[in-house]
Amino acid sequence: MTSFITTINSRARTAAFKPQKGGQRGTTNWQLRQFAEATLGSGSLKKAVKLPEGEDEAEWLAVNVVDFYNQINLLYGSITEFCSPQSCPEMKATEEFEYLWQDNENYKKPTKMPAPEYIEHLMAWVQSNIDNEQMFPSRIGVPFPRTFRPLVLQIFKRLYRVYAHIYCHHYPVVINLGLEPHLNTSFKHYVLFVEEHGLATGRDFWGPLGDLVENMLKSE
């Protein structure tokens, strides 16, 4: 994944959201991340998404939430100059799929906003949850709360919307920047992880990218 991060970082704005929770050497979090990097390096995405034998599923989900957050953050950071309130006044995938922001704090009702503003709120919301030790405990032996999995489902659902927006509105830019292989690999990794761990919420989860997802799953 090193070339992936180096390539995209060269295009990302310096104001991109900070990477999070790599885990300290010797901790379970760190060990799981090393396993994930090793399996990704092997070229087998199908193997990379599986829960390592004997490991806790909540720990594995937490590690991958952080990794997908960082991947999507870098991917979107590489095309932010092409995604503005003027070019993307709504947070949409296709015309049938518009996403409204709600966080039950500053936006208690679903609120229409430009794509870059929506994505900024989304990333900040994911960041705040990752930083919350009560939801994402980093210390060994501290259990995950009962509300952890429902939160993970919501995070994956919302992160998907960034992939959908990039594919539907900025794919020509992605191709011109030479980032198509990185986007496709990242999204396929995401799709396989969601399918492996039952994180798709509802039959219409894949919506605007349904055909692409189906082809990715068939190719495996």
Cα 86 → chain centroid: 25
Indicate the annotated binding residues: 83, 88, 165, 170
Q: Report which residue type is found at 155.
A: I
Indicate the annotated binding residues for Zn(2+): 83, 88, 165, 170
Q: Report which residue type is found at 151.
A: L
Q: Report which residue type is found at 11.
A: R
